[in-house]
Chains A and B, each alone.
Chain A
């Protein structure tokens, strides 16, 4: 029904570019033959501005109403600095773990046959589909001292819930699919002939992996790493249940924003949010650059 509604708008084009067989349509440049350019681009820009650009600019304008001193004191108080360290540090650690194990999972899924492979492959996307709050309370139940995993680890003095470890665990869960799903297709397309050639030239299997396979998948691996990291930095739902949320210790930056909002400190919340927004712009640029590098690699 909705697709029909969209499409219903598309014929707005034909009046602008009548594709009547009588006129020499075929001689015109191909890009203008199809109708609906103005309508679809116009709607795209309108919706983008309404939902994304204007609200985001509200954040920027609000930030500019702060004086420089206000801004600096809001974004660099010790508690906020501690939250940056935790948010970026835990996201980095989780992304590293995901890069290693994500590569391994992608490798196993592409190269080997084993029972239950299809189910595992489908299950990799669970963190995309499972609401973050559900993941949060579930991981907490597992890792708390009376949970399945927590009760096993407790005698060894390892506690993973209600501290910084919990933040890293939650972010590993959230970021897991990114590396697998970026590396998997590249590994599937990798030419086996190159590996055979390397072996014929006397390379060991490890050398083949290190010098032939790894350079092929490195851009995808880095892209997946950056995506998992970026997702981790912004993550809120899964983390707050398991982190314990102790100021200076296990309080993530998004929670600082929420805390400031609950105290009606809109200026402070906006300032910290601007720092996070700049960080996400930066990461978006990095990911875009990595992706175009990856395309060049696979194109060459």
Chain B
């Protein structure tokens, strides 16, 4: 008798009474609704406030299209470069031991803690008219700041750690056993990477790429500093939103913003899918019979 009572009490002790539970769920949902659902819904309702025609009008402007094009170009350059870096950095940091590794990992994370505005400023100080390379660039008629290359550089900076920081812990957790086995069996470095490492890290890789892409397309502060805001030339989508908004073209601003919000939603869907796949793979791996020791 006393034994069953203890068990019942122990069970009750790891859950809360129903009223506490539902109050906590209620508060959490109210908070999520106020701070996440409402702002998201507001983007679309503001965009459609004056009907579908006014909404579509925003996309008839050539400036809007040049902003969309520039955003796509920027992401198409920044994401692959950071992908190459992310894989190389994760390989070096996760697969080998060397001095200063912890410091290097911290440096890789550094761009996350630098304000976007400061990120933009450093490129102005490097390549601006009064910057280190300013006079040389002017003499050779190369424009970096207030032009597309500056926008791409600033975007690369702010999205720098995304892929590396997804891959480093993942590859560290996986260790080097499988790669060493492949090497012993005579695989080249390339074959080892392509057939052994890549399948193991693919979900982490996709995860990093979509987050990197979302930030690359949505970056505002850093790009705003280096862009110069030349309509139709150096405006990305977020900058175009700002210009329209400041000109009181609210519907047009929210129309472009709704496209970016859709991008965010697609990102969240892919991200959830990747997490789900990753967990499924993990479970499947856990259910495999224990490996026999390599002798």
A interface list, Cβ under 8 A from B? 2-14, 19-21, 25-26, 30-31, 33-37, 39-41, 43-45, 47-48, 51-56, 58-59, 62, 101, 104-105, 107-109, 111-112, 114, 118, 120-135, 137-139, 141-142, 147-149, 172-173, 176, 192, 195-196, 198-200, 203, 205, 208, 230, 233-237, 241, 254-255, 257-258, 261, 266, 269-270, 273, 276-277, 280-281, 283-284, 287-288
Partner of B10, one of A141, A196, A273: A196
User: Is the pair B38, A56 in contact by a Cβ cutoff of 8 Å?
Assistant: no
Contacts of B9 in A (CB 8 A): 199-200
In the bound assembly, the distance between CA atoms of A255 and B40 in angstroms comes to: 25
Contacts of B109 in A (CB 8 A): 284
B interface list, Cβ under 8 A from A? 6, 9-10, 12-16, 21, 24-25, 27-29, 31-32, 34-40, 42-43, 46, 80-81, 83-85, 87-89, 91-93, 95-98, 104, 106-111, 113-118, 121-126, 128, 130-132, 153, 156-157, 160, 176, 179-180, 183-190, 192-194, 198, 205, 211, 214-215, 217-221, 224-225, 237-239, 241-242, 245, 250, 253-254, 257, 260-261, 263-265, 267-269, 271-272
Contacts of B257 in A (CB 8 A): 131, 133-134, 137-138
User: Is the pair B220, A200 in contact by a Cβ cutoff of 8 Å?
Assistant: no
Q: Can you list 29 A-B contacts with CB-CB less than 8 angstroms, sorted by A residue number?
A: A3-B205, A13-B189, A19-B183, A26-B184, A30-B180, A33-B176, A33-B180, A33-B183, A34-B179, A35-B192, A40-B91, A104-B24, A112-B24, A120-B29, A129-B218, A131-B237, A132-B221, A133-B239, A133-B241, A134-B257, A148-B38, A261-B121, A261-B225, A266-B124, A270-B125, A273-B117, A273-B118, A276-B118, A284-B113
Partner of B89, one of A20, A40, A114: A40
User: Is the pair A36, B221 in contact by a Cβ cutoff of 8 Å?
Assistant: no
Contacts of A172 in B (CB 8 A): 35
In the bound assembly, the distance between CA atoms of A21 and B89 in angstroms comes to: 28
In the bound assembly, the distance between CA atoms of A59 and B131 in angstroms comes to: 10
